[in-house]
Chains A and B, each alone.
Chain A
Amino acid sequence: MSSNGKNTSPLGLRVAAIGGLLFLHLPLAFIFLYAFTTEEKSFAFPPPGLTTKWFGVAWSSRPDIWPPLYLSLQVAAIATILALIFGTLAAAALSRTKFFGRESISLLFVLPIALPGIITGIALRSAFDIMSIPFSVWTIILGHATFCIVVVYNNAVARFRRLSGNLVEASMDLGADGFQTFRHIILPQIGTALLAGGMLAFALSFDEVIVTTFTAGQQTTLPIWMLSELIRPRQRPVTNVVAVFVFLVTLLPILAAYYLTREGEHTGGSSK
Chain B
Amino acid sequence: MTMAAAERPRGIGGAISDIFFARPQLLTLLLLMPPLLWIGVVYVGSLFALLLQSFYSLDDFSGLVVHQFTLATYQQLFEGSNVQIILRTVVMAALVTVVSAFIAFPIAYYAARYARGWMKALFYLAVMMPLWSSYLVKVYAWKLILAKEGVITWFANALHMGWLLDGVLGLPIVGGPSLSFSYVGTFLVFVYIWLPYMILPTQAALERVPANFIEASADLGADPGQTFRTVIFPLALPGIVAGSIFTFSLTLGDYIIPQIVGNSRLMIGQAVYTLQGTAGNIPLAAAFTVVPMVIMAFYLWMAKRMGAFDVL
Binding site for B on A (CB under 8 A): 1-2, 5-7, 9, 13-14, 16-17, 20-21, 23-25, 27-28, 30-31, 34, 42-46, 85-87, 89-90, 92-94, 96-97, 99, 105, 108-112, 114-120, 122-127, 129-130, 142, 145-146, 149, 153, 172-175, 177-180, 200, 203-204, 207-210, 213-214, 223, 226-227, 230-231, 239-240, 243, 246-247, 250-251, 254-255, 258, 262, 265, 272
Contacts and interface: CB of A to CB of B under 8 A. Distances in A.
A175 to B, nearest CB: 3
A43 B126 CA distance: 27
B70 interface: no
B112 to A, nearest CB: 11
Contacts of A2: 214-215, 218
A87 B35 contact: yes
Nearest to B144: A43
Interface stretch (B74-82, B160-168, B229-237, B281-289): B281-289
B111 interface: yes
Contact of A45 (B45, B151, B254, B259): B151
Nearest to A37: B144
Given A24-B127, A42-B147, A254 B49 contact: no
B126 A209 contact: no
A251 B92 CA distance: 29
Tell me what chain B mostly uses at the interface: helix, strand, loop, or mixed. Answer: helix
Interface of B: 1-2, 4-6, 8, 10, 13-14, 16-18, 20-21, 24-25, 27-29, 31-32, 34-36, 38-40, 42-47, 49-50, 53, 103-104, 106-107, 109-111, 113-114, 121, 123-130, 132-145, 147, 149-151, 153-154, 192, 195-196, 199, 207, 211, 214-215, 218, 224, 245, 249-250, 252-256, 259-260, 269, 272-273, 276, 282, 285-286, 289, 292-293, 296, 300, 312
A183 B123 CA distance: 36
Contacts of B147: 42-43
A209 B136 contact: yes
A25 B126 contact: yes
Nearest to B65: A129
A28 B31 contact: no
A2 B219 CA distance: 9
Contact of B192 (A23, A90, A118, A246): A23
Nearest to B219: A2
A268 to B, nearest CB: 10
Contacts of B145: 27, 30
Nearest to B130: A24
A17 B111 CA distance: 8
A27 B127 contact: no
Contact of B269 (A118, A177, A208, A250): A118
A49 to B, nearest CB: 15
